[in-house]
Structure 1
Amino acid sequence: MAETEARQLADEYLRRGGQRKVKIDDNITDVREWDDEPPEAERFWKDNIAPLADKKRREIELLLPTINAR
């Protein structure tokens, strides 16, 4: 099974030390920064994820670690 582009971007962000976590409430996502993250991860997010359309960015956000109880 091939990885999706969203999965590749999320994995690359996390590989660079990204610390953002997603909160999902009533099917609405909100990304939170709880800890400082390495400059490399911050730059990757700003350059590759933040500029995406809302729908595409949400796909990536849903692949981040969550703060929701499972």
Structure 2
Amino acid sequence: MENASKTLADEYRRLGGRRVAVIDDNIGSSRDWEGDTPEAAKFWRVHISSLSDREKRDVETFLPSLNDESDEPGGK
């Protein structure tokens, strides 16, 4: 699925962005525990943080998820 939100998320990740999506009770946000590269941090600040809350949540849904268990033993 290609759309503006996915394109923004993909470019952010390509630049070294390390934020992860946190979806809890259908409320989305993102966390930056590992720190972004300077390029990714600037991209987030310029292109994503200025979006409306809804648009920002849309972008966050395309980030890797904290709830993703694919790295867990037995996960897919």
TM-score by length of 2: 0.85
Where does residue 72 of structure 2 map in the other structure? none
Q: Is the 8 A contact 2:18 2:35 kept in 1?
A: yes
Q: Is the 8 A contact 2:29 2:57 kept in 1?
A: no
- Identical residues among aligned pairs (%): 45
Structure 2 partner of 1:20: 19
What's the counterpart of residue 10 of structure 1? 9
Question: Partners in 1 of 2:12 and 2:45 — Cα distance?
Answer: 10
Pairing of 1:1-70 with structure 2 (within 5 A): 3-70=2-69
Aligned residues: 69
CA distance in structure 2 between the aligned counterparts of 1:5 and 1:49, rounded to whole angstroms: 11
- d(CA) in 2 for partners of 1:22, 1:52: 16
Measured against aligned partners, the alpha-carbon deviations of 1:5-45 in whole angstroms (never above 9, x if no partner) come to: 11100000000000000111100012101102100000000
Counterpart-to-counterpart distance in 2, 1:39 and 1:62 = 22
Q: If you compute each CA radius of gyration, which structure gives the higher value, 1 or 2?
A: 2
CA RMSD of aligned residues (A): 1.2
After TM superposition, which residue ranges in structure 1, 4 or more long, deviate above 4 angstroms? Answer: none
Structure 2 spans left out of the alignment, 5+ residues:
70-76
Tell me the TM-score normalised to structure 1 length.
0.92
